[in-house]
A and B are shown apart, each in its own frame.
Chain A
Amino acid sequence: MADISSNFLGIKSPNPFWLASAPPTDKKYNVLRAFEAGWGGVVWKTLGSQVKNVSSRYSAVDFGGQRVMGFNNIELISDRPLHINLKEIAECVKLFPDRAMIVSLMADNDKKSWHEIIKKVEDTGAHGFELNFGCPHGMTERGMGAAVGQDPEIACMVVEWVMEAATLPVITKLTPNVHSVVPTGRSVVKAGTNALSLINTIQSITGVDLDTLVPNPYVAGKSVFGGYCGPAVKPIALKFLTTIAQDELTKKVPISGIGGISTWKDAVEFMLLGASNVQVCTAAMKHGFRIVEDMCEGLNNWMDEKGFKTLDDFIGKSVDTITHWEDLDINYHHIAKINQDKCIHCGLCYIACEDTSHQSINLEYGKPYNKYTIKEEECVGCNLCMLVCPVDKCITMEEHRVAPEYVNWIEWQKRGLPLNDH
């Protein structure tokens, strides 16, 4: 059995799965249920300025019959009285001393407010802070949340205030509502944050109701841009994560990966790309806390199969495989191959390639089943057919190097090698 216990900035948890700061972590009742279910830690729902929420608050994107492929919300930070939150945090820490308790903060934009709230939270026995520089709605209009995260100078200033007062470790949570997370990341690392976490939600409209003609979620005939999360945002989160894991400065601090994680596989991918642990919100909101059981077991089995004994054995292992386009090997070539024994003759590979790719699949008419084969000379190895094929491992990509030697784009141009071959 592999050891899946995690140590993030000295904060220990029995596994690397934390619940992200959001409704699942906004009161003692939920948090105790989460700990009982096995979650390694929680980031308590953001505390700070006093707010008032609206109704309704959530909306979702369904896809191909699956509910909640993407999720969005227009909720604000915690709308419960601060003293109750603080009391409950202290109680949870006492009842589950082995779990991580991080408290998310978003104070008004002045030093005094930040110092006050930090002091109050430190008295609860919590293990660390997460600064919410990411909420993209409601708080930004008041100069908080994403408004801070989008401006490296303001972010730097706030982190400096925090670091003056905090004795506990500080994680800064970044907003993805920027073209690059690196500038803010660098500036808060310089200001002294102990770690980074990302991503918060992405501004979005999930859809428009075709009867009322008002976008979702509906509030008295109007809507606003909401924060997008859930499985749909995972690829974007992974990209932002990798940029932080590769930057010379930001890679010096641990990263907590967030955004669209629903399974142990998703979690492993975040960790391979540099996250030391992960946080989950939407998946728990869709299925409840019980999903953590399979996350732990799946991670454990995968680590055993791969021979990884601890999380550190694989954290960051894939970061260096993301390179620049011009460094890719142009002599690498692979060609699709259809396993005729597995093929169910659905024709999806054919129509995809014929209509939208390189006309590299041959159709031999049959009634009722056509036979599909690859025209090897035409196939550019784009993967499209393999991606649309409904049968696992029916289409595989077989390596057929053009030449043994590694030649990248720069070298290719230097040598004046042929272009536009397809």
Chain B
Amino acid sequence: MIQNNRLTPIQYQENFSDIHPPYENITAAKVDANRCLFCYDAPCMKSCPTSIDVPKFIKQIATENIKGSAHTIFTSNIMGAGCSKVCPVEKLCEGACVYNLLEEKPIPIAKLQRYSTEKAMANKWQLFQRKQSIGKKVAIVGAGPAGLSCAHSLSKEGIDVTIYEKESKGGGLMTYGIAAYKVTPQFCEDEVNYILSIGGIEVKYNHELGRTISLAELQTNYDAVYLGLGVGVARQLDIPGEDMDGVVDAISFIYHLRKNGYPSVPVGDKVAVIGMGMTAIDAATQAKRLGAKEVTMLYRRTEDEMPCTKHELDIAMLDSCEIIWLAAPKEVIGINNKVTQLVCSKMQLGEPDASGRRSPIETEETFSLEVDMVIKAAGQVPFEHLITENGITNNKGKIVIDKNCATNIKGVFAGGDAVNGGKEVVDAVQAGKDGAKAIMAYLNIA
């Protein structure tokens, strides 16, 4: 049965509390900070898409220069606070920490980063001084990580920025997509406000490109336009029964949860989640935390090819989600248009495909799972229609940009998920920085 309000308020609170608790105090942070070797040309820094000077900010914690530490982080990554909670660090900075080569625990870089950035946010330290307005105006579409990062970089240089955002809150998927036990709604709101506190950035919420505003208007009214609108809904499975009641899209499921609060979100007794990316993990674990009795994750390939990290998989397993490898959905069966079963094909691995991953091939065998809810998390689909309609060159909806972050339309730039099809927050932040730099060059600002 699919139903909401399965748990008590206390249970919800426990299930969605922070999975990585912060340091209690400076002494605790310094124990780890002092372990950092202060590597030169540090592997951790090279593995961060925004190139945060990790050894430097950690050293600054060790010297109790927390303000300096936060400044180091935010200079490279204005969402350094959020990133410290949502980055898959085990494949980024922490994965590269040289301690791994000694078979020792890496420095908890994210936790240290959280320490400094949270202090900065809590104390509302204004670490950047916006230059005086130089009279140039840039419009940004989307107040997600890419848009906010681009806006902050531009505003710092004295450019007046207006962000058009279709939702009523900023943060993009940080606010509406990422698992609630990683970031709370309050945190997302605080982070957006902290970024905007530099001044010079106006956000027009509830303004949607293609509905309430047009690209042409933006081009006329602004010196340049940056598109950071992310990607849209989850990919269709294209199997019979997909439109039955009880089949939901992971993005909408999480969006509902993040926007309307946990008790209001309906969840089944037995839930199947299709996919093994970050979104799938988030959907599965959160379904479980909302009170589903059984959650089974299905993936077409094996653990070796899965897109999520081992760490994420562990979270799902610790939440006692079942995992079935080499299984693809074939048909959804139901009674009275309500899901009762999911029929799956057993797969086997064939030759490596273009991406180098071995592609799954259907076998004759099938099996079926008794379920009352199916969550689809097999990748997201870009806003192909909107983009094509505006004459922007794209690749199956992913905006095509040149090395200067420029689209085929003069003065229109893009970055983030809208271009890469869906990566991480940290990639979007870097894209926003790159976009700002390109726009500055386009506007001939040194």
Residues of A within 8 A of B (CB): 64-65, 344-348, 350-351, 363, 367-370, 390-391
- Nearest-neighbour CB distance to chain A for B59, whole angstroms, equals 11
A65-B31, A350-B40, A367-B46 known; A344 vs B62 contact (CB < 8 Å): no
A65-B62, A368-B47, A368-B96 known; A346 vs B39 contact (CB < 8 Å): yes
A347-B40, A350-B40, A390-B37 known; A368 vs B102 contact (CB < 8 Å): no
Q: Find the A residue at minimum CB distance from B64.
A: A210
Give the interface residue-count category, chain B. 20 to 34
The contact sample of 16 A-B pairs, CB cut-off 8 A, is A65-B31, A344-B99, A344-B101, A344-B102, A345-B39, A345-B43, A345-B98, A345-B101, A347-B39, A347-B40, A347-B41, A347-B42, A348-B38, A368-B43, A390-B37, A391-B102
Q: Find the A residue at minimum CB distance from B30.
A: A65
Q: Find the A residue at minimum CB distance from B101.
A: A344
With the chains together, A351 CA to B42 CA distance in Å?
Answer: 11
Interface of chain B: mostly helix, strand, loop or mixed: helix
With the chains together, A390 CA to B35 CA distance in Å?
Answer: 11
With the chains together, A240 CA to B436 CA distance in Å?
Answer: 63
With the chains together, A350 CA to B96 CA distance in Å?
Answer: 19
With the chains together, A351 CA to B46 CA distance in Å?
Answer: 17
Q: Is B34 an interface residue (CB 8 A)?
A: yes
With the chains together, A350 CA to B40 CA distance in Å?
Answer: 8
Q: How many A-B residue pairs have CB under 8 A?
A: 44
In the complex, which residues of chain A have a beta carbon less than 8 angstroms from the beta carbon of B35?
65
With the chains together, A346 CA to B37 CA distance in Å?
Answer: 8
With the chains together, A178 CA to B43 CA distance in Å?
Answer: 48
In the complex, which residues of chain B have a beta carbon less than 8 angstroms from the beta carbon of A369?
43, 96
With the chains together, A345 CA to B98 CA distance in Å?
Answer: 7
A345-B101, A346-B98 known; A370 vs B34 contact (CB < 8 Å): no
With the chains together, A369 CA to B43 CA distance in Å?
Answer: 6
- Of B33, B42, B44, which is in contact with the most chain A CB atoms at under 10 Å from its CB? B42
Interface of chain A: mostly helix, strand, loop or mixed: loop
- Nearest-neighbour CB distance to chain B for A346, whole angstroms, equals 4
Q: Find the B residue at minimum CB distance from A372.
A: B40
With the chains together, A367 CA to B62 CA distance in Å?
Answer: 27
In the complex, which residues of chain A have a beta carbon less than 8 angstroms from the beta carbon of B43?
345, 368-369
* New contact pairs (14) apart from A65-B34, A345-B39, A348-B37, CB-CB < 8 Å: A64-B34, A65-B31, A65-B62, A344-B98, A344-B99, A346-B37, A346-B39, A346-B42, A348-B38, A363-B41, A367-B46, A368-B47, A369-B96, A370-B41
In the complex, which residues of chain A have a beta carbon less than 8 angstroms from the beta carbon of B101?
344-345
- Nearest-neighbour CB distance to chain A for B89, whole angstroms, equals 13
In the complex, which residues of chain B have a beta carbon less than 8 angstroms from the beta carbon of A390?
37
In the complex, which residues of chain B have a beta carbon less than 8 angstroms from the beta carbon of A348?
37-40
In the complex, which residues of chain B have a beta carbon less than 8 angstroms from the beta carbon of A370?
41
In the complex, which residues of chain B have a beta carbon less than 8 angstroms from the beta carbon of A344?
98-99, 101-102
Q: Find the B residue at minimum CB distance from A388.
A: B37
Q: Find the A residue at minimum CB distance from B93.
A: A368
In the complex, which residues of chain B have a beta carbon less than 8 angstroms from the beta carbon of A345?
39, 43, 98, 101
- Nearest-neighbour CB distance to chain A for B92, whole angstroms, equals 10
In the complex, which residues of chain B have a beta carbon less than 8 angstroms from the beta carbon of A367?
46
In the complex, which residues of chain B have a beta carbon less than 8 angstroms from the beta carbon of A368?
43-44, 46-47, 96
In the complex, which residues of chain A have a beta carbon less than 8 angstroms from the beta carbon of B37?
346, 348, 390
- Of A64, A345, A391, which is in contact with the most chain B CB atoms at under 10 Å from its CB? A345
In the complex, which residues of chain A have a beta carbon less than 8 angstroms from the beta carbon of B39?
345-348
- Of B30, B31, B35, B38, which is in contact with the most chain A CB atoms at under 10 Å from its CB? B38
Q: Find the B residue at minimum CB distance from A370.
A: B41
- Nearest-neighbour CB distance to chain A for B224, whole angstroms, equals 32
Q: Find the B residue at minimum CB distance from A367.
A: B46
- Nearest-neighbour CB distance to chain B for A173, whole angstroms, equals 36
Give B229-250 as 1s and 0s: 1 = Cβ < 8 Å from A's Cβ atoms.
Answer: 0000000000000000000000
In the complex, which residues of chain A have a beta carbon less than 8 angstroms from the beta carbon of B62?
64-65
Q: Find the B residue at minimum CB distance from A369.
A: B43
Give B63-99 as 1s and 0s: 1 = Cβ < 8 Å from A's Cβ atoms.
Answer: 0000000000000000000000000000000001011
- Nearest-neighbour CB distance to chain A for B27, whole angstroms, equals 10
- Of A346, A350, A368, A390, which is in contact with the most chain B CB atoms at under 10 Å from its CB? A368
In the complex, which residues of chain B have a beta carbon less than 8 angstroms from the beta carbon of A347?
39-42
With the chains together, A18 CA to B366 CA distance in Å?
Answer: 80
- Nearest-neighbour CB distance to chain B for A266, whole angstroms, equals 23
In the complex, which residues of chain B have a beta carbon less than 8 angstroms from the beta carbon of A350?
40-41
| B40:A351 contact, CB within 8 angstroms | yes
Q: Find the B residue at minimum CB distance from A210.
A: B64
With the chains together, A351 CA to B96 CA distance in Å?
Answer: 19
With the chains together, A366 CA to B210 CA distance in Å?
Answer: 45
With the chains together, A344 CA to B106 CA distance in Å?
Answer: 12
With the chains together, A370 CA to B45 CA distance in Å?
Answer: 13
With the chains together, A52 CA to B102 CA distance in Å?
Answer: 54
Pairs of residues from A and B, 3 with the lowest C-beta to C-beta distance, nearest first: A65-B34, A347-B40, A368-B43
